[in-house]
Structure 1
Amino acid sequence: MENRKKVAFYTLGCKLNFSETSTIARNFQDEGFDRVDFEDVADIYVINTCSVTENADKQFKQVVKKAMKLNDKAFVAAVGCYAQLKPEELAAVDGVDLVLGATEKFKITDYINDLSKNDMGEVHSCEIEEADFYVGSYSIGDRTRAFLKVQDGCDYKCTYCTIPLARGISRSDALDNVLKNAYEISQQGIKEIVLTGVNIGDYGKGEFGNKKHEHTFLDLVKALDEVEGIERLRISSIEPNLLKNETIEFVSQSRTFVPHFHIPLQSGSNEILKKMKRRYLREVYTDRVSKIREVMPHACIGVDVIVGFPGETDEHFLETYNFLNELDISYLHVFTYSERDNTEAAEMDGVVPANVRAKRSKMLRGLSVKKRRAFYESQIGTNRTVLFEGENKEGYIHGFTENYVKVKTPWNPELVNTLHEINLSRIDEDGSVRMEFLNVEA
């Protein structure tokens, strides 16, 4: 095919962004473009941006620079959360030609008729109130697992968060459409689907723009469990107040849902949780963890936590540290608080100095290492199922068990994207777990 244009993609941020990039890429391919790797020379580079951390803003500029180095005549488009929040700022970055906000990003191919470079990025963004429709998406082709988007936007008003400003109100995909997408993914030979969204526990709200809960998150989970051809389903991040006992119980007996939960906590101090305008107190969090442990003692439980929120004293931080230390969880994702424009928290008193934030972050990261190690040790000697990934890392192939233990064994290309019964034998120096195969043919 002569003269087909090449397009490359770069994703910053979360699993939801990966699923949306993948969908946008398929739109380009449907329009006759060839997708190439970001490291290759392309005619168009599309960067899906993130606004959650300060770092993501800086990364954007580096990615644009990288694209310009590969082809200084290439057309560069920015989409995603940062593009919605600060379109003019992105448009001013040297090399950027097009910036699309929340409602426009899925129509990107409509804007790419003229690929000549602009002196200044052209902006098409919307008032976020206009982002009231839903576009389903999922990622395939990049890995052994697919990210399936089931929900978008958020109605919560957490004082540190810009996501509602970047993605609009909470709205969900129709159940039939989620099941259709899940089936399509299963037909591609992908073994694991990770459910993703901004606030997936809120699933069912705002189907087709209304606010009525047509289906609940539990309905979604039960329906997905019936889809033929899917080996594994994983719930990504879910708010503690929206993770109901019925869901935990269903997962514990499910055919495909794995015993792995990622539940944001943000702070172990009730006082700070209130300042953050979170919709639960720490006691609810303790209940969730106890319930999971009661029905799935071997489950993996991950926790998001923010350090250095305005007004967080040493006492508040120690409250969080001790709370997490005593809680039977498996690992932490630690975020250092960073001020975001147009959020309540940015105006609050009691700013925590950067060096104190860094010190607290380091302490919690150390605790996370300890927790993960203890969790892995508790799993030694047990039989699990592993799904192997596709990369040869220094002569080893890695994979994850259903309860998210990272295992390794000498590289064998035939193992890629296959599931195997294994016994977890010992922890290696790099922190991953060595294993023995239980099924003879491997």
Structure 2
Amino acid sequence: MNTKKKVGFYTLGCKLNFSETSTIARSFKDEGFERVDFNDEADIYVINTCSVTENADKRFKTIVKQAQKSNPDAFIAAVGCYAQLKPQELADVNGVDLVLGATEKFKITDYLNDLSKNDLGEVHSCEIEDADFYVGSYSIGDRTRAFLKVQDGCDYKCTYCTIPLARGISRSDTLENVLKNAKEISEQNIKEIVLTGVNIGDYGKGEFGNKKHEHTFLELVKALDQVNGIERLRISSIEPNLLKNETIDFVSKSNTFVPHFHIPLQSGHNDILKLMRRRYMRELYVDRVAQIKQVMPHACIGVDVIVGFPGETDDHFLETYNFLNQLDISYLHVFTYSERENTVAATMEGVVPKNVRSKRSKMLRGLSVKKRRAFYESQIGTKRTVLFESENKEGYIHGFTENYVKVKTPWNPELVNTLHEVELTKIDTDGLVRFEFLNVEVA
């Protein structure tokens, strides 16, 4: 291949997708490609798609047009979850040359013998049952943190979710390989690793549908805590039924794992949780939050919640609202339910009108603002450690404390990718927190 060929990447969706895009990008680098920004002119554009976002097809078409604007003759490839679920739909989009499903995306350079445009999009997509092997990945790009994939796929049968159809069965990286990747990341002077996967609490299931856990999530956490050179480890999203007391207690005493948990709830009403086929009732969720706050009163807890699920009445929603209002949580990620083909929920009765879904979503987003403000206020006067980001945003540099309070101070390039002890002093008009430096750089 010509060593001067350029490739640009666009990632839709979750942290897991970002980690996989990074791994795919490294495979291009190994083949002699030069990575450029997606907005720049390139010979090939790779779009890593997501099936969770609403109007995924419209979003995809917009991104393809963006690539064509930069270079009308560029070769355009689609990979990822939407490419697995609706390969032909993406292949039919004007300008798309190649669509790769779940098992093929990591071998994309094998399909690039010729970068000339195709009259029709070429599809290489497996039956999802064939996605039974594991490919490890991690993202490096943002200098301050990396996303480390430890697990893929899901064995849960939530009635609204297409992820098992897009990513296959639950399977994990080996502990040995996770630790190797973590060490590689630490050698790049990256201060924080975020653990990611589809269902990371299920970590330990082997390849080929082996349901036996080689290691537990707690064993993974304990092993990663011993990796030299990593200042911070953050658990991304973990199911409440898989977040055990032993893990919470370990994090509370850990030097590197930070007091921040993101725990999907989806609904605060048990009737809706049953319709969703979630694996817990709300009482367990209350218990998880109480357990975290007991050993880490300063911990940040984020919550996923879905509004407008089929069968959700006004009473159901108000109960969810009140339940969340009373819980000692820090912020919400609110998702408006949208129908997905080949899911049980798409055929359920009690469809909630879209305007009602939108209204409920707005109410919970308002509650999230209130919760985040209350959490930030509770942290004023405390001493925390901040990891500073790399962007200059309107003359300010931003950073996050270990318990995920977002702070800002006037731009200073010397602060980029450094950790400093600070005292949080006040909340600014934009909702971010100001601080005073306590001493010299921590790391």
The TM-score, its normalising length taken from structure 2, stands at 0.98
2:246 matched residue in structure 1: 246
Q: Is the 8 A contact 1:207 1:213 kept in 2?
A: no
How far did residue 244 of structure 1 move?
A: 0.2
1:12 matched residue in structure 2: 12
Residue by residue over 1:62-82, the C-alpha shift from the partner in whole angstroms, topping out at 9 and shown as x without a partner, is 110000000000000000000
How far did residue 440 of structure 1 move?
A: 4.5
Tell me, in whole angstroms, the C-alpha distance in 2 between the residues paired with 1:185 and 1:2. Answer: 29
2:349 matched residue in structure 1: 349
2:426 matched residue in structure 1: 426
Counterpart code for 1:189: N
Residue by residue over 1:80-131, the C-alpha shift from the partner in whole angstroms, topping out at 9 and shown as x without a partner, is 0000000000000011000000000000000011111112110000000000
Q: Is the 8 A contact 2:132 2:171 kept in 1?
A: yes
Counterpart code for 1:314: D
Tell me, in whole angstroms, the C-alpha distance in 2 between the residues paired with 1:321 and 1:32. Answer: 53
Tell me, in whole angstroms, the C-alpha distance in 2 between the residues paired with 1:148 and 1:102. Answer: 18
How far did residue 355 of structure 1 move?
A: 0.3
1:101 matched residue in structure 2: 101
How far did residue 3 of structure 1 move?
A: 5.3
Counterpart code for 1:267: S
Counting only pairs closer than 5 Å after superposition, residues 233-382 of structure 1 correspond to structure 2 as 233-382=233-382
How far did residue 207 of structure 1 move?
A: 4.5
Distance 1:288 1:248, change over 3 A: same
Counterpart code for 2:90: L
Tell me, in whole angstroms, the C-alpha distance in 1 between the residues paired with 2:189 and 2:317. Answer: 46
Tell me, in whole angstroms, the C-alpha distance in 1 between the residues paired with 2:395 and 2:2. Answer: 40
Tell me, in whole angstroms, the C-alpha distance in 2 between the residues paired with 1:282 and 1:57. Answer: 34
1:132 matched residue in structure 2: 132
Tell me, in whole angstroms, the C-alpha distance in 1 between the residues paired with 2:198 and 2:253. Answer: 26
Tell me, in whole angstroms, the C-alpha distance in 2 between the residues paired with 1:266 and 1:71. Answer: 42
Counting only pairs closer than 5 Å after superposition, residues 179-190 of structure 1 correspond to structure 2 as 179-190=179-190
1:229 matched residue in structure 2: 229
Tell me, in whole angstroms, the C-alpha distance in 1 between the residues paired with 2:407 and 2:441. Answer: 19
Tell me, in whole angstroms, the C-alpha distance in 1 between the residues paired with 2:422 and 2:332. Answer: 26
Tell me, in whole angstroms, the C-alpha distance in 2 between the residues paired with 1:167 and 1:251. Answer: 29
Secondary structure in structure 2 of the residue aligned to 1:364: helix
Secondary structure in structure 1 of the residue aligned to 2:215: coil
Residue by residue over 1:114-153, the C-alpha shift from the partner in whole angstroms, topping out at 9 and shown as x without a partner, is 1111121100000000000000000002341000000000
Q: Tell me how large the CA RMSD over aligned residues is.
A: 1.1
Tell me, in whole angstroms, the C-alpha distance in 1 between the residues paired with 2:208 and 2:339. Answer: 34
Counterpart code for 2:417: N
Correspondence 1:167 to 2:154: no
Tell me, in whole angstroms, the C-alpha distance in 1 between the residues paired with 2:55 and 2:35. Answer: 27
Tell me, in whole angstroms, the C-alpha distance in 2 between the residues paired with 1:426 and 1:116. Answer: 57
Q: Is the 8 A contact 1:13 1:56 kept in 2?
A: no
Tell me, in whole angstroms, the C-alpha distance in 2 between the residues paired with 1:70 and 1:258. Answer: 41
Secondary structure in structure 2 of the residue aligned to 1:352: coil
Residue by residue over 1:31-79, the C-alpha shift from the partner in whole angstroms, topping out at 9 and shown as x without a partner, is 1111111011000000000000213332111110000000000000000
Tell me, in whole angstroms, the C-alpha distance in 1 between the residues paired with 2:208 and 2:344. Answer: 30
Q: How many residues align?
A: 442
Q: Is the 8 A contact 2:238 2:264 kept in 1?
A: yes
How far did residue 272 of structure 1 move?
A: 0.1
Residue by residue over 1:268-298, the C-alpha shift from the partner in whole angstroms, topping out at 9 and shown as x without a partner, is 0000000000000000000000000000000
1:152 matched residue in structure 2: 152
Counterpart code for 2:114: D
Residue by residue over 1:135-192, the C-alpha shift from the partner in whole angstroms, topping out at 9 and shown as x without a partner, is 0000002341000000000000000000000000000000000000000000000000
How far did residue 396 of structure 1 move?
A: 0.4
Q: Is the 8 A contact 2:419 2:441 kept in 1?
A: no
Distance 1:384 1:227, change over 3 A: same
Residue by residue over 1:194-247, the C-alpha shift from the partner in whole angstroms, topping out at 9 and shown as x without a partner, is 000000000001246522111000000000000000000000000000000000
1:393 matched residue in structure 2: 393
Mark the runs of 5 or more structure 2 residues left unpaired by the alignment.
none
The TM-score, its normalising length taken from structure 1, stands at 0.99
Counterpart code for 2:315: E
Secondary structure in structure 2 of the residue aligned to 1:390: coil
Distance 1:29 1:3, change over 3 A: closer
Tell me, in whole angstroms, the C-alpha distance in 2 between the residues paired with 1:197 and 1:284. Answer: 22
Tell me, in whole angstroms, the C-alpha distance in 1 between the residues paired with 2:207 and 2:10. Answer: 30
Q: Is the 8 A contact 2:203 2:217 kept in 1?
A: yes
Mark the runs of 5 or more structure 1 residues left unpaired by the alignment.
none
Counting only pairs closer than 5 Å after superposition, residues 37-52 of structure 1 correspond to structure 2 as 37-52=37-52
Secondary structure in structure 2 of the residue aligned to 1:438: strand
